[in-house]
Amino acid sequence: MTKDEIIDGILAVYRERGHRAYGEDVTELQHGLQCATLAQQEGETAEVIVASLLHDFGHLLHDLGEDIASKGVDARHEHVGANRLSAWFGPDVVEPIRLHAASKRYLCWKEAGYRAGLSEASARSLELQGGVMTASEAAEFEAGPHYDRAVRVRRYDDRGKDPGMATPDMESFRPLMASLVRAGA
């Protein structure tokens, strides 16, 4: 596959399923665009911007419904999305995606008040994803090579839920995504 074909495939998934809601006041497409836009505005690296854009890609790959967390189901979307995207992107993009739910668990452990600031949907899914980390889980998480990027993606995830926020469209992120497609993907 060429880079264009890979990006076309990703964009097709968003065109077909990006309208889905997931318990927030924005669609999956709006959420990804907002997260990437915020990351871009704050001068993040290309890898963090693309990871922020695609961090919930796994939600678009299952057919379990739009608000499965309210039904007590964790589809492990972070792993589903990361596994699929790892065919095309390197670990600096994929691992923050894989770790963004763990980052929420970590931040609940690390920062007083973080949990209270979670949206209702994020608080509900926190419990399904394992709840607040223990001290030993947090130490292991902090020792990982992608911990810092994952936490940054998580912070954009928390902020990218504004129904009134204007963003560029997915196509505007095409060159950035293409620049990060692994050689030989």
**pTM for this one?**
0.92
| Torsion of the alpha carbons at 97, 98, 100 and 106, rounded to the nearest 10 | -150
Q: Among positive and negative, which fits the CA dihedral 112, 141, 127, 60?
A: positive
Q: Does residue 183 lie in a domain region?
A: no
Q: What's the rounded mean pLDDT across residues 48-61? A: 93
- Give the Cα separation of 91 and 147 in Å (integer): 12
pLDDT digits (tens, 9 = 90+) for 77-90: 787 889 999 999 99
pLDDT value at position 73? 44
Q: Poorest-confidence range of 49-53, 60-64, 99-103, 176-180?
A: 60-64
Containing domain of residue 61, as a range?
3-162
In a domain, 178, yes or no: no
Count of domains forming the chain: 1
Lowest-pLDDT range of 8-12, 37-41, 66-70, 127-131: 66-70
Predicted local confidence at residue 20, as pLDDT:
84
In a domain, 169, yes or no: no
